[in-house]
Structure 1
Amino acid sequence: MISIRGRDNPPTLDPAYATRTFDGHLACLVHGGLLRCNPDGEIVPELARSWKTSEGGKKYAFEIQPGLRFPSGNPLDATAVVESWSRICRPETGSSVSWVFEDIVGYDRVISGELRNLPGLLIRSSTELEAVLRAPSATFPARMSMPAARIVDPMAIEQAGEDYGRHPKALGAWKLVEWEDDSHLLFRPNPLYPERNDSIEGLRFDLIAKDFSASARFETGNVHILNPLPSSQSDYWKEFPTWRKQIHPAPQLNLYYLGFGCHRKPFDNPKVRLALAKALDSESVRETLYGERAIPAWGPIPPKLVGSEEKIPESSPLSASEEEILQGLTFEMWFPDVDPTSALVMEGFQANLLKHGVRVRLRRVDRTAYSAWRREGRFDAFLGNWWADFPDPDNFITPLFVSDSDSNMTRFKDPQVDNWAEEARGLVNPEERGALYRKIGRLLREQTPMVFLWHLNEEVLTQPWVIGYEPPTLYQGTLYLRLGISK
């Protein structure tokens, strides 16, 4: 049995409602999908044998492994997939993640209650399913790796009703056998899963809210994987050579940024935003506070994804006219009260800007108020971050920069970015797609709706006898299929 540190009690393991990182991770352990995300962020088959696209990314055909069955004995076939994906979209389900399937033909008619099943899902045979999209989409396979696209057993849903999230039974790599609130969740290998891991007895997620308590239990050997290793304790563990080599770097798909209120003066002027970005000197702050745990963000798209910057973009020092723009500028910078490092980051920015005649008032706000006020646009500038839902560059460009996106907190609007983002979403050729995303990145650096700060990496600490652990780039990126105990 291998113990992994969890935090708080998950509200549900139902893929329709598992919207947080930890919930989604556990839901993916219990529920298999046609596709999954591997630890490196690549999309690979899971319960599908293969998949292919046609008509320039408008159709996706999946071949499902034959002979798959749920614990109930029901077949996991094309019919089960249609029912599972359509369930997420039905208004009576009330799922907040139905957008995962918005590209499929007929999505609007299901979400409105007019139809029960997605008409764009065509059953060719029991093991062959075709998804017809409204328009070409290169993001579709990546979306199908998300928890929402995991396949549930209609019989299990019917039998358990509203309690299904507490008692899920599906065809995932692991089966839930015990759940004690605020204590632990216990999983055993699922004998029905084709690639199950029989090398260990099971996984136990111990729910430990406080970092200090988690580290203490790790030190006594009661916790075997500390994921993530709390940043405040990283230096402590690295002091010991034995433990230093047990720390696994875990590059993450995220973007940390300082956003400007492009709807407010003087931040509606891109020249002001660019001058501030240069004066900020975010690199000195990153090196001081994070060191190797964060890498510079050269653009909006993290490394490993198509369209990320392959080299450091050229930048020029502040010109005399830009220095003049900054003189006497006064504004507020907001940040959430979540950890001490955020305050240090903002104090560093405040000091750097003061060197150029810019006076900044820092506003530290509790998380709830910060989120609400940011959505209302009540800010000059704010510290933000974005973590990928699925491994695709569109998941950074469309939410953060497209004009009508609910997650576009800077209120940035540019028709060229909107058009290019839509075009890039439909390009299935990686080279063409990457080139267009780099064009978008260059335009965003010129317009500067935000300062791209860094990509924060996590670290994972494991006991010396734990083998086969693969740090994932996304929360749904590992099923622990190679995890084992050294003999």
Structure 2
Amino acid sequence: MLRRFVMITLCAAALALMLAACVATPTPVTVIEKETVVVKETVEVVKEVTKEVTKEVVVTPTPVTMRPQVLRWSIEGINELVSIDPPKASDSQGILAVNMLFAGLVRLDGELRVTPDGATSWTVSPDGLTYTFKLRSGLAFSDGTPATADDVVFSLTRALNPATGGWTGPFYLSNIVGSDDVTSGASSTLTGVKAVDASTVEIKIKQPSAFFLKQLTFAGGFIVPEAKVTANPANWTDSPIGTGPFKLKEWKHNQALILEPNPYYWNGPIQVTELQMPFFQDSETAFQLYRTGGLDIMGSQQNGVPAARLAEVSDLPDFRAASSFAVRYIGFNNMLPPFDNVKVRQAFARAIDKQALATKVLGGSVRPSDRILPGGLPGSELPIKGLTFDAAAAKQLLADAGFANGKGLPPIAFSYGVEGDNERVVTFLQEQWKQNLGVQITLEPLELATFSERLNTTYQHPEQGIQMYFSIWGADYPDPQNFISQQLRTDVGNNNGHWSNAAFDKLVDEADVIVGNDSKRMTLYNQAEQLAVDEVGWLPLFNPTLNVLMRPYVSGFVFTGQGITVPDWSAVRGKTQ
């Protein structure tokens, strides 16, 4: 809802020069709901009679601030968002935007613990297979329409439906009973999710899970309005409504998102009266705009201050940094030569001086890594023996594979998305393989959207896919399962390189169903990770650091490995106008 500010001149002489900005209060919405109840009437015998009872529910918007505050937060690495439909958002930039507009039953707090959001509470059955959520009283979408249990059922079902065109649902909701039938198109009903009544949702899962609630904090589990989506399934996001802290004021395509507070947000009032999120393909452009006063926040989880600029900003009070739950890695297409040969993959791994990459190329802005799990993530405290840099060993491995000094290798293309410091990284890697293996590779730069499409092709049709690629994985939820099982198990949807190991699959299958014994679960993931490192299921390079510039007057943000987290949007402050 557009905020209208009216300037009122106070007539008293002592206050003649003072102005007060007044905000129009949104009108409460009265919604007529009908529910069926069972009552007992006494006639000749006592009998039960079903009656329909009509009641009025008044959804009242929260009061808002009396003075406008604007927050300008850049989204780097893109020229446009792929989608703001929760299950269809396909990259970190889209997920950031979706989190402004939508929310789910639960969310992560400032310490990355699962905490209530749309649901005020939940219970879990003794066998760990049934979750019952009680929705928050007065939970509403940003137009004042109540958000009900039916909307939750619809949202989870839609996220799994292949016709929706999203990937997060089939990944992160696959443990729900009936999910396979929905994703295969065999059924339009998700049997494991039921609206017990208007404010109670029951979810049944196939097997116990220590991370199921964490998965519900991700976009695929967010609540969307059934009535609005079904009325206009193709274009409903032109004017979306959600239960998140903001609503869409304007989407300037290929330029920016302009958001304003959701007056019906349960945890309001939101003090930031306008959130501007401009898009920048190049982080350097965003940096320059910040430096000239055009931004309040520059940077997010996977994009931030360019490495070449860190030295000039690291001592500023504006600069914030945190270790990121993300890993930059090289993926190999295990279905195409020469990377169907484990010794070739190992040779390429051992030919890279990761310390030089981190310090000389990226200015110490990252942490070199020989493992898949980022530091600080549960399970990362257990050691891994990596394939460390050893040029002589790398040459011997390549010779053992039948390609001494690179002779006999087919032409090799190295694909990467054009963003941030990627070009500097892949150019360094190209030189390392030439110097230490005698192998000449061709670099293939791609726009991010094209790069993502090529990865999808590599998974779906590996024989037509890319040979090797430079990519990143950041935690969608803070659990090692998101990096181990969800990435490298045989044929799982994120396993674009088609690496496969039966012993690995057995370990993660056992770990995934352990509840109440994190020590054992982490040990199994650790053993699986070691196998993946040994056989180069992924070739991890480094863990990025979250490097952000934020004006001193901005408050309410928490920096974690998960990225920038907002525990309470009502506590966020921008620049007072």
Q: TM-score range by the shorter chain?
A: 0.7 to 0.9
Counterpart of 2:58?
Answer: none
Determine the C-alpha separation between the residues in 1 that align with 2:388 and 2:290.
48
Q: Which residue of the other structure, out of 306, 312, 320, is the alignment partner of 1:239?
A: 312
CA drift of 1:364 comes to 0.8
Counterpart of 2:141?
Answer: 70
CA drift of 1:440 comes to 0.9
Counterpart of 2:548?
Answer: 460
Q: Which residue of the other structure, out of 73, 78, 90, is the alignment partner of 1:4?
A: 73
Determine the C-alpha separation between the residues in 2 that align with 1:90 and 1:157.
14
| Aligned residues of 1:8 and 1:208 also touching (Cα < 8 A) | yes
281-290 or 221-230, larger mean C-alpha shift: 221-230
Q: Which residue of the other structure, out of 333, 346, 359, is the alignment partner of 1:287?
A: 359
CA gap 1:343/1:329 in 2 versus in 1, 3 angstroms? farther
Determine the C-alpha separation between the residues in 2 that align with 1:273 and 1:379.
15
| Aligned residues of 1:211 and 1:230 also touching (Cα < 8 A) | yes
The AA in structure 1 aligned to 2:487 is L
The AA in structure 1 aligned to 2:501 is D
| Aligned residues of 2:323 and 2:544 also touching (Cα < 8 A) | yes
Determine the C-alpha separation between the residues in 2 that align with 1:410 and 1:154.
37
Q: Which residue of the other structure, out of 307, 311, 325, is the alignment partner of 2:379?
A: 307
Q: Which residue of the other structure, out of 478, 487, 505, is the alignment partner of 1:400?
A: 487
- The within-5 A match list for 1:78-477 is 78-90=149-161, 92-99=163-170, 100-112=172-184, 115-158=187-230, 160-228=232-300, 233-236=306-309, 238-239=311-312, 244-263=316-335, 267-268=339-340, 270-271=342-343, 273-311=345-383, 313=385, 324-327=396-399, 328-330=404-406, 331=409, 332=412, 334-336=414-416, 338=418, 341-349=421-429, 351-353=431-433, 358-367=437-446, 368=450, 371=455, 374-375=458-459, 376=462, 381-428=468-515, 429-471=517-559, 473-474=561-562, 477=565
| Aligned residues of 1:69 and 1:76 also touching (Cα < 8 A) | yes
Q: Which has the larger radius of gyration?
A: 2
Overall identity of the aligned pairs, in %: 24
Determine the C-alpha separation between the residues in 1 that align with 2:419 and 2:142.
43
Give SS of 1:466's match. Answer: coil
| Aligned residues of 1:160 and 1:167 also touching (Cα < 8 A) | no
Determine the C-alpha separation between the residues in 1 that align with 2:443 and 2:386.
33
Residues 25-59 of structure 1, C-alpha deviations (whole Å, 9 max, x = no match): 22222222101234554432212223343455432
Residues 133-192 of structure 1, C-alpha deviations (whole Å, 9 max, x = no match): 122233322221122211122233345553320111222211223333344333222232
| Aligned residues of 2:306 and 2:421 also touching (Cα < 8 A) | no
Determine the C-alpha separation between the residues in 1 that align with 2:332 and 2:344.
10
Residues 57-107 of structure 1, C-alpha deviations (whole Å, 9 max, x = no match): 432232322232334554323232112222333455444443132221112
Give SS of 1:302's match. Answer: coil
CA drift of 1:23 comes to 2.7
| Aligned residues of 1:388 and 1:396 also touching (Cα < 8 A) | yes
Give SS of 2:329's match. Answer: strand
Determine the C-alpha separation between the residues in 2 that align with 1:457 and 1:90.
36
| Aligned residues of 2:351 and 2:391 also touching (Cα < 8 A) | no
432-441 or 69-78, larger mean C-alpha shift: 69-78
CA drift of 1:467 comes to 2.1
The AA in structure 1 aligned to 2:442 is R
Determine the C-alpha separation between the residues in 1 that align with 2:256 and 2:339.
48
Determine the C-alpha separation between the residues in 1 that align with 2:272 and 2:393.
65
418-427 or 210-219, larger mean C-alpha shift: 210-219
Determine the C-alpha separation between the residues in 2 that align with 1:286 and 1:266.
27
Aligned alpha-carbon RMSD (Å): 3.4
| Aligned residues of 2:375 and 2:381 also touching (Cα < 8 A) | yes
The AA in structure 1 aligned to 2:312 is E
Determine the C-alpha separation between the residues in 2 that align with 1:380 and 1:92.
30
CA gap 1:353/1:171 in 2 versus in 1, 3 angstroms? closer
Give SS of 1:239's match. Answer: helix
| Aligned residues of 1:5 and 1:227 also touching (Cα < 8 A) | yes
Give SS of 1:366's match. Answer: strand
CA drift of 1:132 comes to 0.8
Residues 238-257 of structure 1, C-alpha deviations (whole Å, 9 max, x = no match): 4257x622111143332222
CA gap 1:480/1:207 in 2 versus in 1, 3 angstroms? farther
Counterpart of 2:65?
Answer: none
Determine if the alignment matches structure 1 residue 58 to structure 2 residue 129: yes
Determine the C-alpha separation between the residues in 2 that align with 1:81 and 1:301.
32
CA gap 1:44/1:363 in 2 versus in 1, 3 angstroms? farther
The AA in structure 2 aligned to 1:401 is L
